[in-house]
Amino acid sequence: MDKYKNAALKPPTPLRLFLLHARINLVTLGGGYVIVPVTASSYEKKGWMTEEEFYEIFAQAQAFPGPLALNTAILSSLKLCGFWGAFAAFWGVIIPPFLAIILVSNLMSTFGSLPAVKNFLDGAGAVVPGLVAAMIWKNAKKRKWNAPHIIETAALAVLLILFPAYSLPILLIGIGCFYAIEVICKRCSK
């Protein structure tokens, strides 16, 4: 097993998994889509898991609600090191951002009222809709569109916009219906 030649030297332990995920989540800015590739290459460098194996787990992680970075960390550590590995990875993902946010919030309450800081935040906040639109654009390009997908997406988006107070039941029932439709469509086309 050539690709695991480092494994004999430094096998994954809960402590190592905690430290690895804590380090990645301390220094990686920009959310799940940036954290996941960094984790993939760290695992491969340590000889714990190939990138292909990792992205297979990433695909599974997307089926769960919750932050993508957290889900992939838990599922991959579960595979590497069992329950305690997953437990350690969980805290590795949670703790560094938690401390960073508390630090930033404290800075905000001290300096947030300065005009320069206020202008900075207004400018930073103004790009958020642009970034969301870009995510929609990118995902729409990747998606396999067909008539049911277009109708389903439009209907669900309209319902979510019209009834913001009921997003939980709308989403759960909606996604349940979509699953049923996917399964039925597949059977019919066979």
Q: Does 182 bind another protein (CB under 8 A)?
A: yes
| Binding-site member from 3, 10, 15, 34 for another protein (CB under 8 A) | 34
- In this structure, are residues 72 and 58 in contact, taking their beta carbons and an 8 Å threshold? yes
Q: Does 188 bind another protein (CB under 8 A)?
A: no
**Residues 98 to 127: which contact another protein by CB under 8 A?**
98, 100-102, 104-105, 108, 115-117, 119-127
Nearer to another protein, 1 or 29 (CB): 29
CB of 135 vs another protein, minimal distance in Å: 5
Q: Rounded to the nearest 10 degrees, how much is the dihedral formed by the CA atoms of 22, 26, 30, 31?
A: 30
Phi, psi of 146 (to 5 degrees): -140, 175
Q: How many Å apart are CA 143 and CA 22, to the nearest integer?
A: 33
What 3-state class would DSSP assign to 47? coil
Q: What is the DSSP letter of 50?
A: -
Cβ neighbour number for residue 63 with a 10 Å cutoff: 7
| Binding-site member from 1, 2, 8, 30 for another protein (CB under 8 A) | 30
CB of 22 vs another protein, minimal distance in Å: 10
**Residues 153 to 172: which contact another protein by CB under 8 A?**
153-154, 156-157, 160-161, 164-165, 167-168, 171-172
CB of 142 vs another protein, minimal distance in Å: 9
Phi, psi of 156 (to 5 degrees): -65, -40
| Binding-site member from 1, 8, 131, 147 for another protein (CB under 8 A) | 131
Q: How many Å apart are CA 28 and CA 72, to the nearest integer?
A: 15
Q: Does 70 bind another protein (CB under 8 A)?
A: yes
